[in-house]
Structure formats: C-alpha cells, structure tokens
A = this chain, B = another copy of it.
C-alpha cells in the first residue's frame, strides 16, 4: 500500500465540503451556526443554502437542543462549534435531549486537540472523545485527513441517529483518496506488519505511518491501523491486530485517558490482552504556541510512537516489571 503525502489541508474543510454535499442530496439537512461559522466551515453550507441555515449565536446548549427539536420534526440538523463548547458546554443536552432521545442530531466539533495552536488551553479540547464514547446511541468519528473528514461527514448525515465528528483547525497531511475505504464502525489496516500494531485516529494516523517508516528501517514491520470510528468501535480489526502483533501503540490528539487508547485497552482486555503504550496528551492542559512546537512539546509526533513501539515490543518479548502510569510515555530520541 502506498501512502503518499498529497498535500496539507485542515480536516475542517472536509466537514464543510461534506455538509454542502449533504445539502445537495437531502433537502431536510439544516445547519445551525454558533457564531464561528467561518472557523468551522458551516459558512460553506450557509452560502449555498441560506434558507436552511439558522444562526443561533453563542448558545451551545440552545443550539444542541434546538437541533433535537428539529430532528424530532424530521429534519437532519447539524450544529458545529469548537469541540470545547459543542461537546462539553452542552454535555447534559447531548446526553438527554440528543442521545437518550435518539434524536437524529449531528454535531461537528472543531478546533480539537493541541494543534489549535496560539488560542491556548481553553480552546484545545482533549477530553471529549472519552465523554462521547460513553453515551449510548452515539456515533463518534475522528477522521484522519481532509478526504476522510468529508466522507465521514456525509456518512454521519446519511445514517440515522446521534453522531459527532471531531476535526481540527490546522492543516494536516492528506493521504487518503476518494477511493480509500470509509465505513462507520470500521478501522482500516493501512500497512500489513505483524511486529507491532500502531492504532491511531485523527492527525496521529499520519504520524503513525511516519513511525512505521522509521521502524521499517530497523526491519520492524508495523501494522498501522486507522480507527476513525471510535464508536461504534471495530473490535474485530483491533483484536486481530492484538493477536497477530502482540504489542500495540495507540496514538491520538487527546488525553491518554479514556479516548481511543481507552477503547483499544478495553477491547484487548476483553479479547486479547497485550502490552499497550499510549501516545497522547499526558493528563495536562495545552497552551499557546505554534502547532508544530506544541505537537513536539506535548509528545504528539512519530518519534513518541516510534519509541513507544520499541517499548511495547520489548514488554511483549521480555515482560516488564515496575509500575508505570498511563501517561508515562517513552521519551522521543
């Protein structure tokens, strides 16, 4: 499988384009704005379908619950804001009016992760995957690049039920194409190794490919798995990877607790227990800076994945003693 760098683009543009496609295909798709329509690209839909766009202002609770009311009236409402505000400011609304209601509400949570950059910690949401994953009836997607974000947006609009998509502010590498497979509930095996599995979502998928490339230079063949569907989760693919490789690294732009890493840990504990190393933000808040600087500072590069892979394999082959916290991530060399 070739994984070419096809350029760079923020995933939020995939969301924006996906929305426009949905608008074209389905007359009952409605979009609600939260006063940052330009940032989360709902502006694209607004421009094309002004009659089906409603600005709710800075009121994420209301927007989420209005969306539930629209959904209970047969519409397919999307509401998008920064993830910090449309996954948490409205958490109670998501739980009761959306999830418990099984309302056909779609949420787009932008500016996720450290790569938000200079806006700083308040805007760099790193906790919402854990929360959304626990909500019954919820679908939770974290696409890896622009094209996958586009597909995921369309897919969530065309399924029935509550769904959330997480996307980012800054440009990230593009490597999936129109013909790359995408299906809600499915992970994709990007490379075929059996020495160690690197399971990632979002921008960390590309970093995992980079790590695999470096590992390959040492003769280590990593199976890179892209897991955009956090819920429903692809137990089969992850279990198979655990059985075939016996060692796993998870990588995500999220706290090391409760997110994709948590899902993989639960899955393997249930089906095929193996050593896992967790690459993510180590139980801290973010901060201002340029995305690249921050990704290095917070340990979200291929280097940590690479180093973690060596540790995970070592643990598999020789066992390990001592007790380490989840956030104890091997230092990048």
Binding site for B on A (CB under 8 A): 84-85, 88-89, 91-92, 95-96, 99-100, 121-122, 126-127, 130-131, 133-136, 233, 235-236, 239, 248, 255-259, 261-271, 273-278, 283-285, 320, 322-326, 328
Which residues on the B side are within 8 Å of A285 (C-beta)? Answer: 99-100, 136
Residue among A122, A239, A263, A285 with most chain B CB within 10 A: A285
Given contacts A235-B325, A265-B262, contact A255 B92 (CB under 8 A): no
Q: How far is the CB of A105 from chain B (nearest CB, A)?
A: 16
Inter-chain pairs besides A84-B95, A99-B285, A261-B266, 5 sampled, C-beta below 8 Å: A85-B92, A88-B92, A88-B95, A131-B134, A265-B268
Residue of B nearest to A319 (CB): B272
A28 CA to B233 CA, complexed, in Å: 47
Contact check, B258 vs A134: say whether CB atoms are below 8 A apart: yes
Identical copies in the complex = 2
Contact check, A259 vs B134: say whether CB atoms are below 8 A apart: yes
Contact check, A121 vs B92: say whether CB atoms are below 8 A apart: no
A92 CA to B82 CA, complexed, in Å: 12
Which residues on the B side are within 8 Å of A99 (C-beta)? Answer: 285
Residue of B nearest to A86 (CB): B92
Selected contact of A127 from candidates B95, B121, B277, B324, CB within 8 Å? B95
Which residues on the B side are within 8 Å of A322 (C-beta)? Answer: 271
Could you jot down 21 A-B contacts, CB within 8 Å? A89-B92, A91-B91, A91-B131, A96-B122, A99-B285, A126-B134, A127-B131, A127-B134, A131-B134, A131-B258, A235-B323, A257-B266, A262-B266, A267-B326, A268-B273, A269-B278, A270-B277, A270-B325, A271-B324, A273-B273, A273-B276
Q: How far is the CB of A98 from chain B (nearest CB, A)?
A: 12
A328 CA to B121 CA, complexed, in Å: 38
Selected contact of A122 from candidates B100, B121, B255, CB within 8 Å? B100
* Cβ-closest 3 pairs across A and B: A273-B273, A269-B276, A91-B91
Given contacts A122-B96, A134-B130, A134-B259, contact A269 B268 (CB under 8 A): yes
Residue of B nearest to A284 (CB): B136
Residue among A133, A136, A278, A324 with most chain B CB within 10 A: A136
Which residues on the B side are within 8 Å of A121 (C-beta)? Answer: 100
Residue among A235, A267, A323, A328 with most chain B CB within 10 A: A323
Contact check, A134 vs B326: say whether CB atoms are below 8 A apart: no
Selected contact of A239 from candidates B91, B127, B323, CB within 8 Å? B323
Which residues on the B side are within 8 Å of A266 (C-beta)? Answer: 256-257, 261-262, 265, 276, 278, 326
